[in-house]
Structure 1
Amino acid sequence: MVYSCILVGYDGSEASRLAIEKAVGLARRLGAKLVIATVVPPPTVFLGELLIPEVTELSEIEKPARERLGKLVKEIREAAGLENVESALLVGDPAEELVNFAEASGCDLIVVGRRGRGGLERLILGSVSSKIVSISHCVDVLVVESSSAKKN
């Protein structure tokens, strides 16, 4: 299958850096557009029993994330020689936002890293990569394992 748009999730971890390396290689070989996405959680305020989104704080989270994404896109364009590289800053649940963005923007492959959490930690915290695989019905998913994932 030939992919024309590759979406890669980036959170600054070793696993996401490996996912970017894999996605860059694929984009170069296939001549595909590369979109690097970071998902930030919506800020919330706890009032009694309600969690209410704190809209005024969102810009405080978005600004440094946008700057990191811009720097990363520039590095990839220069180091890998890819011109068709874009970034996306999403807010919400990482798995859901990445899948929704891929479907809405026409990306046909999602590349994500897997950190390799142990059984109990994975059970409690969940796994973004596992959730993406389970909810993505229209877009292919490539999960790249980090060295810590291979040990587990």
Structure 2
Amino acid sequence: MHTVLIPFDGSASAKRAIQYLIDLSKDFAQIKVHVLNVQTEPVLYGEYVTPDLLDQLHAGALQHAAEINAEATALLGAANVSHETHVATGMVAPEIARVVKEYACDAVVMGTRGMGSLKNLVLGSVATQVVHEVAVPVTLVK
């Protein structure tokens, strides 16, 4: 079985990456897809945040991630592609690398946001970070 991770953020390019995997699954019937949505941790200003509020923010982020993953689940399910969904909070590229190791993924397929070369040079891209952080092939879908 070939195990593939697809980081999914609901963007048009992420949906194209899902379609790429659906098309690929026609040639590889034994493909297993792990869908991951990572929400960044909230940025808090000030020192007066209660633990309950932190828990609520974290739970809300995970709920939002699950809602985004629902679209990927619908697309993959309609195509009868074997898949699991995962949600996480934190920095996106390191979380992707963690999940690749945890689920022994053979490859990563992900959409690109198309920031352009100047923004990419200044800010870096998640895709570039993932390519450097994982030890498996990464396919980028525009």
Q: Which residue of 1 aligns with 2:50?
A: none
Residue 129 (1) aligns with residue 127 (2): yes
Report if the CA contact (8 A) 1:5-1:108 is conserved: yes
1:113 aligns with 2:111: yes
1:113–1:71 distance in 2 versus 1, CA, 3 Å = closer
Partner residue in 1 for 2:34? 35
Q: Give CA deviations for 1:77-135 in whole Å, capped at 9, x if unaligned.
A: 12x122x1111112111111111101111111111111221233212331111111111
Instruction: Kindly indicate whether residue 63 of structure 2 is the aligned counterpart of residue 66 of structure 1.
Output: no
Give how far 1:39 is off. 0.8
Which stretches in structure 1 are left out of the alignment for 5+ residues? 146-152
Looking at structure 2, the residues matched to 71 and 18 of structure 1 have their Cα atoms a distance apart, in angstroms, of: 12
- Match for 1:65: what amino acid? A
Query: What is the Cα deviation at residue 72 of structure 1?
Result: 2.8
Q: Match of 1:81, SS?
A: coil
What are the within-5 Å matches in structure 2 for residues 1-152 of structure 1?
A: 4-30=2-28, 31-47=30-46, 54-78=54-78, 80-82=79-81, 84-137=82-135, 139-145=136-142
Q: Secondary structure at the match of 1:42?
A: coil
Query: Taking structure 1 as reference, are residues 121 and 17 closer, same or farther at Cα in structure 2, changes over 3 Å only?
Result: same
**Number of residue pairs the alignment of both structures matches:** 136
Q: Distance in 2 between matches of 1:35 and 1:66?
A: 13
TM-score with structure 2 setting the length: 0.84
What's the CA shift for 1:47?
Answer: 2.8
Q: Any idea what the Cα deviations from partners look like across 1:11-65, whole Å, max 9, x if unmatched?
A: 11111111111122223422211111111001231237xxxx9343011122132
Q: Is the 8 A contact 1:45 1:54 kept in 2?
A: no
Contact 1:8 1:111 in 2 (8 A): yes
Residue ranges of structure 2 left out of the alignment (5+ in a row): 48-52
Q: Tell me which amino acid in the other structure corresponds to 2:68.
A: R
Maintained 8 Å contact 2:6/2:109: yes
The residue type equivalent to 2:63 in the other structure is K
Cα root mean square deviation, aligned: 2.0
Cα shift at 1:71: 4.2
**C-alpha contact 1:24 1:34 (8 A) present in aligned 2:** no
Q: Counterpart of 1:12 in structure 2: which amino acid?
A: G
